[in-house]
Chains A and B, each alone.
Chain A
Amino acid sequence: AQSVTQLDSQVPVFEEAPVELRCNYSSSVSVYLFWYVQYPNQGLQLLLKYLSGSTLVKGINGFEAEFNKSQTSFHLRKPSVHISDTAEYFCAVWDTGRRALTFGSGTRLQVQP
Chain B
Amino acid sequence: DGGITQSPKYLFRKEGQNVTLSCEQNLNHDAMYWYRQDPGQGLRLIYYSQIVNDFQKGDIAEGYSVSREKKESFPLTVTSAQKNPTAFYLCASSTGHRGETQYFGPGTRLLVL
- A residues near B (Cβ < 8 Å) are 6, 9, 32, 34, 36, 41-46, 49, 51, 90, 94, 96, 98-106
A105/B107 contact (C-beta < 8 A), A99-B96, A99-B98, A100-B33 known: no
A44/B101 contact (C-beta < 8 A), A105-B40, A105-B41, A106-B42 known: no
Among B4-58, those with CB < 8 Å from A are 4, 6, 31, 33, 35, 40-45, 48, 50, 56, 58
Among B74-113, those with CB < 8 Å from A are 88, 90, 92, 96, 98-99, 101-107, 109
B42 touches A105 (CB 8 A): yes
> Smallest Cβ distance from A75 to chain B, in angstroms?
17
A51 touches B56 (CB 8 A): no
A98/B56 contact (C-beta < 8 A), A90-B43, A103-B42 known: yes
B98 touches A96 (CB 8 A): yes
The total of Cβ contacts below 8 Å across the A-B interface reads: 62
Chain A residues contacting B31 (CB-CB under 8 Å) are 99-100
What are 30 A-B contacts defined by CB distance under 8 Å? A6-B42, A9-B40, A34-B101, A41-B107, A43-B4, A43-B6, A43-B104, A43-B105, A45-B104, A46-B103, A49-B99, A49-B101, A51-B99, A90-B42, A90-B43, A94-B99, A98-B45, A98-B58, A99-B31, A99-B48, A99-B96, A99-B98, A100-B33, A100-B48, A100-B102, A103-B35, A103-B43, A104-B42, A105-B41, A105-B42
Chain A residues contacting B35 (CB-CB under 8 Å) are 103
Complex Cα spacing A105 to B48, Å: 20
> Smallest Cβ distance from B57 to chain A, in angstroms?
10
B42 touches A99 (CB 8 A): no
Complex Cα spacing A6 to B103, Å: 21
A32/B99 contact (C-beta < 8 A), A41-B107, A42-B107 known: yes
B50 touches A99 (CB 8 A): yes
Q: A34-B101, A43-B107 are in contact. List 5 more A-B contacts (CB 8 A).
A: A6-B42, A41-B109, A99-B48, A100-B48, A106-B42
